[in-house]
Amino acid sequence: MLIEGPMNITISDPADGQGKVLVILFTPEFQALSLEEQGKQFQDYMTLLSGHMHSTDSVDERNRAGMAIIYQFADQLLPHIISGDLALEERIVLQIRQASQAVALTDLLASKPN
């Protein structure tokens, strides 16, 4: 499932072969917004993500689990985006070790747009 938002997320295999690595980059359009607009757009993105997670549409459980992981990560970023103390031009790298989470994220990020 493709969910358009302020972040581009790619997934790859780590050097040690355990889990997956997420590389998160903020879009240039998001970076160009004012601090206030960034906070609002990021909160809107989280609301959209939450809506998909809790909807009764055709979102399967793996995609729902992948969205929950992205939402949890975004929730941790939100205060830093609002305060402006996060360097949005820097890439963020997360390693996911738990196999079920890695599979959920792989499925979510590999899904075709609805």
pLDDT digits (tens, 9 = 90+) for 13-69: 888 888 788 899 999 999 999 999 999 999 999 999 898 888 877 677 877 888 888
Torsion (CA) 15, 20, 26, 27 in degrees, nearest 10? 100
Per DSSP, the residues of 35-58 read HHHHHHHHHHHHHHHHHHHH--SS
Mean residue pLDDT of the chain comes to: 84
Query: Using an 8 Å Cβ cutoff, are 49 and 90 in contact?
Result: no
Domain boundaries, the chain: 7-110
CA distance 84 to 88: 9
Q: In the chain, pLDDT over 90 holds for what percent of residues?
A: 42
Q: Provide the token pair at 15.
A: 């050097």
Q: Provide the token pair at 65.
A: 């689990």
First to last CA, the chain: 6
CA distances from 78 to 86, 91, 102 (A): 10, 16, 23
